[in-house]
Structure 1
């Protein structure tokens, strides 16, 4: 990442602060820690307590960030489902033919709203454009940490959200985590955090075959 890209990424995070309780909380905790250090330096009573409160707050924020981002890794579902909806995919094998452009496209019902997706094995996260998210009634998670995404338009911040229901073919997903990316354009992406929860996925004869597996409770 060059210097300009780094500055752009920092600027995106700064602009996201008012929208993120976690980022705002981090700044407050750091400020409290600075006050505690100043109190200790000047030998003011209570400085150590203030520093301890700041440290505990930062540790809590760090754990929250870990749990939010770990939700995209199915290997950690047993841990990250604590207090959050279970992410599961059920159904039967579904075939998706290759489109004329060489990609795999599908139309899924997201919370009952038809939504077109590009199935992208190179995308880590399932992502929605702002318009598609609004149509499907998806909203940024309260207190969620904005995620940085690299797109054709540069690095942008995306908000975490949870998809209650996503259905296509013989497959239904529930509680799936995703992001809302404002600069994604009109393309929604079904990424690896969905595909990796399937029992298997493969390409045969040019067709993409998705198999949730028997009684899959991912």
Structure 2
């Protein structure tokens, strides 16, 4: 441990001794009741922490996900933030995209490109794209296989963004392969 960590640990032990000493002196005649109350609050705290830890698992189970209708339509629900998120299988790896009708191409974030096995150091960033954050450099890649539900496309061109992106974008080059309908809070893709 370094000096800063030791100092913090010493401070926390000192604080715990001060608070613990106060509790013992103040509640010495009602120690049983105090311990029951402390145990109840401890269980509440553990329950809140467990709920927080499981929230991502619960959220995906409770939130509507994209689905394929019997007619072969891909139905994507609108997320709480107003966007449509579409999960594609790219070379067998699931990648979540934000549908962006204002974007021309499929644009991969560097994290997603890395997950797909694309060597970022070997890319040549010759392309330029105008974004809300200004001009960014892009590199063209060819994706051997892109799947959405029952539909499969091969050798699909995408661009890896050299700038920071929270997630990959699915632009009109891919979306135009489908008839896109937005009805209420759903995006429906048909071929």
Within the candidate set 120, 126, 131, 1:151 is matched to: 131
Counterpart-to-counterpart distance in 2, 1:155 and 1:206: 32
Alignment RMSD (CA, Å): 2.3
| 1:121 Cα deviation after fit | 0.9
Bigger relative CO (Cα 8 Å, ≥ 6 apart): 1
Structure 2 unaligned blocks of 5 or more:
1-70
Q: Go from structure 1 to structure 2 and tell me whether the alpha carbon gap of 1:196 and 1:144 turns closer, same or farther (over 3 Å shift).
A: farther
Matched residues, number: 120
Counterpart-to-counterpart distance in 2, 1:104 and 1:171: 19
- Structure whose CA Rg is larger: 2
| 1:151 Cα deviation after fit | 2.4
| 1:131 Cα deviation after fit | 1.6
Structure 1 unaligned blocks of 5 or more:
1-90, 213-218
Deviation string for 1:115-152 (max 9, x for gaps)? Answer: 11001111111100112111112357x99772111224
Match of 1:108 in 2: 88
| TM-score, scaled to structure 2 | 0.56
| TM-score, scaled to structure 1 | 0.50
Counterpart-to-counterpart distance in 1, 2:114 and 2:158: 14
Counterpart-to-counterpart distance in 1, 2:176 and 2:132: 25
